[in-house]
Structure 1
Amino acid sequence: MPAPTPKPPFTTFSALYNHILTLPPPLFPPPKPTSPPLTATISALSLHPTLEAALHILNNDLPSAHFLVRHMQAPPAYEGMFLHGILHRIEGDYDNARAWYSNVAESEVFTKVWGGEEAAREFIGKVEALVKEGEGDGQELEKESLREIKAVVEYCREKFGEEELKDATGAWVRPGEDHRKMGEEMVSGGKGYRQF
Protein backbone atom coordinates (compact mmCIF):
# COMPACT_ATOMS: atom_id res chain seq x y z
CA MET A 1 0.00 0.00 0.00
CA PRO A 2 1.54 3.37 -0.97
CA ALA A 3 2.22 6.01 1.67
CA PRO A 4 -0.50 8.61 2.15
CA THR A 5 0.03 11.69 0.04
CA PRO A 6 0.75 14.85 2.04
CA LYS A 7 -2.17 17.21 2.29
CA PRO A 8 -0.48 20.61 2.13
CA PRO A 9 -0.13 23.00 3.60
CA PHE A 10 1.38 21.78 6.83
CA THR A 11 2.22 25.15 8.29
CA THR A 12 2.52 24.10 11.92
CA PHE A 13 4.46 21.46 13.76
CA SER A 14 1.27 20.00 15.25
CA ALA A 15 -0.46 19.58 11.88
CA LEU A 16 2.59 17.94 10.31
CA TYR A 17 3.28 15.77 13.36
CA ASN A 18 -0.31 14.51 13.48
CA HIS A 19 -0.07 13.60 9.78
CA ILE A 20 3.29 11.85 10.17
CA LEU A 21 1.89 9.77 13.02
CA THR A 22 -0.51 8.19 10.46
CA LEU A 23 2.50 6.75 8.57
CA PRO A 24 3.85 3.28 9.42
CA PRO A 25 6.12 3.50 12.49
CA PRO A 26 9.87 3.26 11.86
CA LEU A 27 11.47 0.03 13.03
CA PHE A 28 13.57 -1.37 10.17
CA PRO A 29 16.00 0.20 7.71
CA PRO A 30 13.87 1.80 4.98
CA PRO A 31 14.82 1.81 1.30
CA LYS A 32 13.60 5.43 1.05
CA PRO A 33 11.55 7.93 3.03
CA THR A 34 7.97 6.84 3.58
CA SER A 35 6.71 10.07 1.99
CA PRO A 36 9.54 11.79 0.06
CA PRO A 37 7.58 15.06 -0.43
CA LEU A 38 7.53 15.51 3.36
CA THR A 39 11.30 16.05 3.50
CA ALA A 40 11.04 19.61 2.19
CA THR A 41 7.87 20.25 4.19
CA ILE A 42 9.60 19.25 7.43
CA SER A 43 12.64 21.39 6.69
CA ALA A 44 10.53 24.39 5.68
CA LEU A 45 9.04 24.67 9.19
CA SER A 46 12.48 25.69 10.56
CA LEU A 47 11.91 23.90 13.86
CA HIS A 48 14.42 23.22 16.60
CA PRO A 49 16.81 20.66 15.04
CA THR A 50 15.77 17.91 17.47
CA LEU A 51 12.14 18.20 16.41
CA GLU A 52 13.11 18.36 12.75
CA ALA A 53 15.32 15.28 13.12
CA ALA A 54 12.54 13.38 14.93
CA LEU A 55 10.05 14.20 12.15
CA HIS A 56 12.53 12.98 9.54
CA ILE A 57 13.00 9.76 11.55
CA LEU A 58 9.25 9.26 11.75
CA ASN A 59 9.13 9.69 7.96
CA ASN A 60 11.98 7.16 7.59
CA ASP A 61 14.20 9.84 6.04
CA LEU A 62 17.31 8.76 7.87
CA PRO A 63 19.86 10.73 5.76
CA SER A 64 18.09 14.02 6.54
CA ALA A 65 17.87 13.13 10.24
CA HIS A 66 21.49 12.03 10.30
CA PHE A 67 22.65 15.35 8.88
CA LEU A 68 20.99 17.14 11.79
CA VAL A 69 22.00 14.84 14.66
CA ARG A 70 25.64 14.88 13.56
CA HIS A 71 25.65 18.51 14.68
CA MET A 72 24.33 17.49 18.11
CA GLN A 73 26.56 14.60 19.10
CA ALA A 74 28.14 15.91 22.29
CA PRO A 75 26.81 17.19 25.61
CA PRO A 76 24.75 19.18 26.36
CA ALA A 77 22.79 18.12 23.24
CA TYR A 78 21.50 14.92 24.88
CA GLU A 79 18.25 14.99 22.92
CA GLY A 80 20.14 15.00 19.60
CA MET A 81 22.47 12.29 20.88
CA PHE A 82 19.48 10.16 21.88
CA LEU A 83 17.91 10.65 18.44
CA HIS A 84 21.24 9.60 16.94
CA GLY A 85 20.94 6.31 18.81
CA ILE A 86 17.36 5.81 17.68
CA LEU A 87 18.41 6.49 14.09
CA HIS A 88 21.15 3.84 14.28
CA ARG A 89 18.69 1.37 15.83
CA ILE A 90 16.35 1.85 12.87
CA GLU A 91 19.28 1.55 10.43
CA GLY A 92 20.13 -1.81 11.97
CA ASP A 93 23.45 -0.60 13.42
CA TYR A 94 22.67 -2.03 16.85
CA ASP A 95 26.12 -1.73 18.44
CA ASN A 96 26.29 1.94 17.48
CA ALA A 97 22.75 2.45 18.82
CA ARG A 98 23.75 0.86 22.13
CA ALA A 99 26.79 3.15 22.33
CA TRP A 100 24.67 6.28 21.80
CA TYR A 101 22.11 5.09 24.34
CA SER A 102 24.92 4.52 26.85
CA ASN A 103 26.24 8.03 26.19
CA VAL A 104 22.89 9.54 27.21
CA ALA A 105 21.80 7.01 29.85
CA GLU A 106 22.16 9.53 32.69
CA SER A 107 20.36 12.35 30.86
CA GLU A 108 16.95 13.66 31.81
CA VAL A 109 15.42 12.87 28.41
CA PHE A 110 16.63 9.25 28.42
CA THR A 111 15.46 8.71 31.99
CA LYS A 112 12.01 10.10 31.17
CA VAL A 113 11.70 7.84 28.11
CA TRP A 114 13.22 4.60 29.43
CA GLY A 115 13.70 4.91 33.18
CA GLY A 116 17.06 3.20 32.82
CA GLU A 117 19.49 1.72 30.37
CA GLU A 118 18.51 -1.91 30.95
CA ALA A 119 15.02 -1.53 29.45
CA ALA A 120 16.40 0.31 26.41
CA ARG A 121 19.10 -2.31 25.82
CA GLU A 122 16.49 -5.06 26.08
CA PHE A 123 14.38 -3.29 23.45
CA ILE A 124 17.34 -2.96 21.07
CA GLY A 125 18.09 -6.65 21.61
CA LYS A 126 14.51 -7.60 20.73
CA VAL A 127 14.60 -5.53 17.54
CA GLU A 128 17.94 -7.09 16.59
CA ALA A 129 16.57 -10.61 17.21
CA LEU A 130 13.55 -9.88 15.03
CA VAL A 131 15.68 -8.55 12.18
CA LYS A 132 18.45 -11.16 12.32
CA GLU A 133 16.56 -14.26 13.45
CA GLY A 134 12.90 -13.53 12.78
CA GLU A 135 12.14 -13.92 16.48
CA GLY A 136 9.68 -11.64 18.23
CA ASP A 137 6.49 -9.67 17.71
CA GLY A 138 7.03 -7.05 15.03
CA GLN A 139 3.80 -5.21 15.79
CA GLU A 140 4.65 -4.86 19.47
CA LEU A 141 8.15 -3.67 18.62
CA GLU A 142 6.74 -1.11 16.16
CA LYS A 143 4.49 0.19 18.94
CA GLU A 144 7.44 0.43 21.30
CA SER A 145 9.56 2.18 18.66
CA LEU A 146 6.79 4.71 18.12
CA ARG A 147 6.32 5.17 21.87
CA GLU A 148 10.03 5.88 22.29
CA ILE A 149 10.17 8.46 19.48
CA LYS A 150 6.94 10.15 20.57
CA ALA A 151 8.28 10.44 24.13
CA VAL A 152 11.44 12.14 22.85
CA VAL A 153 9.34 14.46 20.67
CA GLU A 154 7.12 15.44 23.61
CA TYR A 155 10.17 16.10 25.77
CA CYS A 156 11.69 18.29 23.04
CA ARG A 157 8.41 20.12 22.42
CA GLU A 158 8.22 21.00 26.08
CA LYS A 159 11.89 22.00 26.32
CA PHE A 160 12.37 23.85 23.02
CA GLY A 161 8.86 24.76 21.88
CA GLU A 162 7.51 24.18 18.40
CA GLU A 163 7.88 27.66 17.03
CA GLU A 164 10.00 28.57 14.03
CA LEU A 165 13.70 28.81 14.87
CA LYS A 166 15.39 30.86 12.16
CA ASP A 167 18.89 30.51 13.64
CA ALA A 168 19.58 26.99 14.90
CA THR A 169 23.28 27.55 15.55
CA GLY A 170 22.57 27.70 19.28
CA ALA A 171 21.47 24.05 19.13
CA TRP A 172 24.71 22.87 17.52
CA VAL A 173 27.56 21.72 19.69
CA ARG A 174 31.21 21.50 18.89
CA PRO A 175 32.23 17.87 19.35
CA GLY A 176 35.15 16.99 21.55
CA GLU A 177 38.36 15.72 19.96
CA ASP A 178 37.33 12.06 20.35
CA HIS A 179 34.00 12.62 18.57
CA ARG A 180 35.66 14.70 15.86
CA LYS A 181 38.19 11.98 15.06
CA MET A 182 35.52 9.29 15.13
CA GLY A 183 33.39 11.36 12.75
CA GLU A 184 36.29 11.81 10.35
CA GLU A 185 36.92 8.07 10.33
CA MET A 186 33.23 7.37 9.73
CA VAL A 187 33.03 9.77 6.82
CA SER A 188 36.22 8.48 5.23
CA GLY A 189 35.14 4.88 5.70
CA GLY A 190 38.50 4.03 7.26
CA LYS A 191 36.90 1.99 10.01
CA GLY A 192 34.35 0.20 7.86
CA TYR A 193 31.49 2.54 8.71
CA ARG A 194 29.03 3.76 6.18
CA GLN A 195 30.36 6.49 3.94
CA PHE A 196 28.41 9.66 3.35
Structure 2
Amino acid sequence: MSSTTDSVATQLFARDPIPPLEPGKKVYDPKLTKTIASLDEHEYVKAALHLANDDIHNCHEIAQAHEGDTIADILHATLHRREGDYWNSKWWWSRIPAHPTIKSVADSKAFVDACERLNGTGSKEEDQLRERQWDELKGLVEFTRGKYGK
Protein backbone atom coordinates (compact mmCIF):
# COMPACT_ATOMS: atom_id res chain seq x y z
CA MET A 1 0.00 0.00 0.00
CA SER A 2 1.15 3.47 -0.84
CA SER A 3 3.02 5.36 1.88
CA THR A 4 1.43 8.57 0.59
CA THR A 5 -2.00 6.99 1.04
CA ASP A 6 -0.97 5.89 4.54
CA SER A 7 0.15 9.43 5.31
CA VAL A 8 -3.11 10.95 4.07
CA ALA A 9 -5.22 8.44 6.02
CA THR A 10 -3.16 8.97 9.18
CA GLN A 11 -3.50 12.74 8.87
CA LEU A 12 -7.25 12.55 8.30
CA PHE A 13 -7.93 10.16 11.14
CA ALA A 14 -5.85 12.14 13.62
CA ARG A 15 -8.44 14.92 13.43
CA ASP A 16 -9.49 16.43 16.71
CA PRO A 17 -12.26 17.19 17.03
CA ILE A 18 -13.89 14.67 14.75
CA PRO A 19 -15.96 16.07 11.89
CA PRO A 20 -19.49 17.37 12.25
CA LEU A 21 -22.41 15.40 10.86
CA GLU A 22 -22.63 17.95 8.05
CA PRO A 23 -19.47 19.77 7.04
CA GLY A 24 -21.33 22.20 4.79
CA LYS A 25 -19.20 23.30 1.86
CA LYS A 26 -16.04 23.47 3.95
CA VAL A 27 -13.38 20.88 3.10
CA TYR A 28 -11.40 19.88 6.20
CA ASP A 29 -7.95 20.26 4.62
CA PRO A 30 -8.10 21.83 1.14
CA LYS A 31 -4.40 21.01 0.59
CA LEU A 32 -5.26 17.31 0.74
CA THR A 33 -7.77 17.56 -2.11
CA LYS A 34 -5.06 17.63 -4.78
CA THR A 35 -2.94 15.05 -2.94
CA ILE A 36 -5.87 12.61 -2.74
CA ALA A 37 -6.80 13.17 -6.39
CA SER A 38 -3.23 12.43 -7.50
CA LEU A 39 -2.83 9.21 -5.49
CA ASP A 40 -2.01 6.09 -7.47
CA GLU A 41 -5.08 4.38 -6.03
CA HIS A 42 -8.43 3.03 -7.18
CA GLU A 43 -11.16 5.64 -7.52
CA TYR A 44 -13.07 4.21 -4.52
CA VAL A 45 -10.07 4.66 -2.23
CA LYS A 46 -9.84 8.27 -3.37
CA ALA A 47 -13.60 8.79 -2.93
CA ALA A 48 -13.51 7.43 0.62
CA LEU A 49 -10.53 9.64 1.47
CA HIS A 50 -12.28 12.67 -0.04
CA LEU A 51 -15.33 11.89 2.08
CA ALA A 52 -13.17 11.65 5.22
CA ASN A 53 -11.71 15.04 4.23
CA ASP A 54 -15.25 16.50 4.10
CA ASP A 55 -14.80 16.94 0.36
CA ILE A 56 -18.33 16.08 -0.67
CA HIS A 57 -17.92 17.40 -4.23
CA ASN A 58 -14.96 15.22 -5.22
CA CYS A 59 -16.43 12.14 -3.56
CA HIS A 60 -19.67 12.78 -5.43
CA GLU A 61 -17.89 13.02 -8.78
CA ILE A 62 -16.42 9.55 -8.31
CA ALA A 63 -19.55 7.93 -6.83
CA GLN A 64 -21.75 9.36 -9.58
CA ALA A 65 -19.40 8.04 -12.26
CA HIS A 66 -19.75 4.50 -10.90
CA GLU A 67 -23.47 4.51 -10.11
CA GLY A 68 -24.86 1.00 -9.75
CA ASP A 69 -21.75 -0.46 -8.13
CA THR A 70 -22.50 -1.26 -4.49
CA ILE A 71 -19.51 0.50 -2.92
CA ALA A 72 -20.03 3.57 -5.12
CA ASP A 73 -23.69 3.62 -4.06
CA ILE A 74 -22.69 3.34 -0.38
CA LEU A 75 -20.35 6.29 -0.82
CA HIS A 76 -23.16 8.12 -2.63
CA ALA A 77 -25.68 7.46 0.16
CA THR A 78 -23.17 8.52 2.80
CA LEU A 79 -22.15 11.74 1.08
CA HIS A 80 -25.79 12.81 0.63
CA ARG A 81 -26.42 12.24 4.33
CA ARG A 82 -23.35 14.32 5.16
CA GLU A 83 -24.48 17.18 2.96
CA GLY A 84 -27.91 17.18 4.61
CA ASP A 85 -29.76 15.78 1.60
CA TYR A 86 -31.47 13.21 3.80
CA TRP A 87 -34.22 12.10 1.45
CA ASN A 88 -31.68 11.47 -1.33
CA SER A 89 -29.43 9.58 1.07
CA LYS A 90 -32.26 7.25 2.01
CA TRP A 91 -33.12 6.76 -1.69
CA TRP A 92 -29.54 5.63 -2.32
CA TRP A 93 -29.63 3.33 0.70
CA SER A 94 -32.73 1.72 -0.81
CA ARG A 95 -30.67 0.67 -3.84
CA ILE A 96 -27.98 -1.11 -1.82
CA PRO A 97 -28.05 -4.86 -1.13
CA ALA A 98 -26.46 -6.38 1.96
CA HIS A 99 -22.80 -5.42 2.23
CA PRO A 100 -20.10 -6.05 4.86
CA THR A 101 -19.63 -2.31 5.46
CA ILE A 102 -23.20 -1.81 6.72
CA LYS A 103 -25.35 -3.47 9.38
CA SER A 104 -28.49 -3.28 7.26
CA VAL A 105 -30.26 -0.91 4.93
CA ALA A 106 -32.95 -0.32 7.57
CA ASP A 107 -30.26 0.58 10.14
CA SER A 108 -28.58 2.91 7.62
CA LYS A 109 -31.87 4.69 6.93
CA ALA A 110 -32.58 5.00 10.67
CA PHE A 111 -29.13 6.56 11.06
CA VAL A 112 -30.01 9.10 8.36
CA ASP A 113 -33.23 9.96 10.23
CA ALA A 114 -31.33 10.36 13.51
CA CYS A 115 -28.77 12.64 11.85
CA GLU A 116 -31.54 14.78 10.41
CA ARG A 117 -33.31 15.01 13.75
CA LEU A 118 -30.25 15.73 15.91
CA ASN A 119 -27.85 17.64 13.65
CA GLY A 120 -26.94 20.97 15.17
CA THR A 121 -28.51 20.26 18.56
CA GLY A 122 -25.19 20.04 20.39
CA SER A 123 -26.67 17.17 22.36
CA LYS A 124 -24.97 14.09 23.75
CA GLU A 125 -26.95 12.08 21.20
CA GLU A 126 -25.52 14.19 18.36
CA ASP A 127 -22.02 13.54 19.70
CA GLN A 128 -22.77 9.80 19.64
CA LEU A 129 -23.91 10.09 16.02
CA ARG A 130 -20.72 11.93 15.15
CA GLU A 131 -18.69 9.10 16.73
CA ARG A 132 -20.66 6.51 14.77
CA GLN A 133 -20.22 8.49 11.56
CA TRP A 134 -16.48 8.78 12.18
CA ASP A 135 -16.23 5.02 12.70
CA GLU A 136 -18.24 4.56 9.48
CA LEU A 137 -15.91 6.85 7.50
CA LYS A 138 -12.84 5.06 8.85
CA GLY A 139 -14.47 1.76 7.93
CA LEU A 140 -15.12 2.91 4.37
CA VAL A 141 -11.50 3.97 3.96
CA GLU A 142 -10.26 0.69 5.44
CA PHE A 143 -12.63 -1.38 3.31
CA THR A 144 -11.78 0.36 0.05
CA ARG A 145 -8.06 0.19 0.78
CA GLY A 146 -8.31 -3.48 1.66
CA LYS A 147 -10.34 -4.39 -1.41
CA TYR A 148 -9.05 -1.94 -4.02
CA GLY A 149 -5.82 -0.48 -2.59
CA LYS A 150 -2.43 -0.80 -4.18
TM-score (norm 1): 0.68
Q: Is the 8 A contact 1:42 1:52 kept in 2?
A: yes
In the alignment, is residue 82 of structure 1 matched against residue 74 of structure 2?
Answer: yes
> Which aligned runs of 4 or more in structure 1 are off by greater than 3 angstroms?
132-136
Q: Which residue of 1 aligns with 2:141?
A: 153
Identity, in percent, stands at 30
Q: Is the 8 A contact 2:48 2:144 kept in 1?
A: no
Q: Closer, same or farther in 2 for the Cα pair 1:136/1:95, shift >3 Å?
A: farther
1:153: how far off?
A: 2.0
In the alignment, is residue 114 of structure 1 matched against residue 108 of structure 2?
Answer: no
Residues 141-150 or 90-99, more deviating: 141-150
How many corresponding residue pairs? 147
What are the superposed Cα offsets for residues 98-154 of structure 1, whole Å, 9 maximum, x if unpaired? 1111111x243xxx2332122212211110001377766221111110111222222
CA distance in 2, matches of 1:133, 1:95: 20
Q: Closer, same or farther in 2 for the Cα pair 1:133/1:146, shift >3 Å?
A: closer
Q: Is the 8 A contact 1:129 1:136 kept in 2?
A: no
Q: Gaps spanning 5+ residues in structure 2: where?
A: none
In the alignment, is residue 33 of structure 1 matched against residue 27 of structure 2?
Answer: yes
SS, match of residue 124 in structure 1:
helix
Q: Is the 8 A contact 2:78 2:89 kept in 1?
A: yes
CA distance in 1, matches of 2:121, 2:135: 24
Higher relative contact order (CA 8 A, sep 6+): 2
Higher radius of gyration, 1 or 2: 1
TM-score (norm 2): 0.88
CA distance in 2, matches of 1:17, 1:140: 22
CA distance in 1, matches of 2:121, 2:134: 22
SS, match of residue 28 in structure 2:
coil
1:156: how far off?
A: 1.6
Q: Which residue of 2 aligns with 1:103?
A: 95
| RMSD after superposition | 2.0
Q: Closer, same or farther in 2 for the Cα pair 1:26/1:84, shift >3 Å?
A: farther
Q: Which residue of 1 aligns with 2:49?
A: 55
SS, match of residue 47 in structure 1:
coil
SS, match of residue 101 in structure 2:
helix
Q: Is the 8 A contact 1:69 1:84 kept in 2?
A: yes
CA distance in 2, matches of 1:156, 1:29: 22
